[in-house]
């Protein structure tokens, strides 16, 4: 299959994270995040901003996440993506880190076996 230079600007990727529940346990939660592709130079800038502590995981997530599916409210209704809903999501402890980690891992591609 030939490589297509112009690719879709968006892609979805599953995001998993653990939330604490009663009894000293964690429960795995998963939803699909929709991300934008950024250029290699922008990826470098984002990585440098994280290392220099000039950008938080919340800042990066706000830049690269543009949608989702599989997030519901207490009544089981799908929560539509919006900037306000994203801000509420990113206020959940450690979730922004899971989103950013997932985004960077998705861009690394499949790992090769030795």
Query: Distance from CA of residue 56 to its chain's centroid?
Result: 13
pLDDT above 90: residue 7? no
CA quadruple 34, 40, 42, 45: dihedral, nearest 10? 120
Summarize pLDDT for 36-71 with one digit per residue, the tens. Answer: 999 889 989 998 998 999 999 999 999 999 999 999
pLDDT above 90: residue 32? yes
Instruction: Report pLDDT for 5.
Output: 62
Alpha-helical regions (H) of 14-56: 40-51
- When pLDDT is averaged across residues 72-79 and rounded to a whole number, the result is 95
Question: Considering only CA atoms, which of 26, 38, 104, 29 is closest in space to residue 68?
Answer: 29
Ordered by start, the domain boundaries in the chain are: 10-20+27-107
- When pLDDT is averaged across residues 21-25 and rounded to a whole number, the result is 95
Instruction: Report pLDDT for 110.
Output: 54
């Amino acid at each position: 299959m030939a490589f297509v230079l112009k690719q879709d600007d968006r892609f979805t990727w599953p995001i998993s994270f653990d939330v604490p529940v009663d009894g000293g346990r964690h429960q795995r939660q998963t939803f699909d995040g929709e991300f934008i592709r950024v250029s290699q130079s922008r990826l470098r800038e984002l990585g440098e901003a994280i290392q220099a502590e000039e950008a938080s995981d919340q800042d990066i997530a706000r830049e690269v996440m543009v949608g989702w599916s599989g997030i519901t409210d207490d009544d089981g209704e799908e929560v539509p993506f919006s900037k306000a809903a994203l801000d509420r999501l990113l206020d959940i402890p450690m979730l922004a880190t899971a989103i950013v980690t997932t985004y960077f891992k998705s861009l690394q591609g499949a790992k090769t076996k030795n």
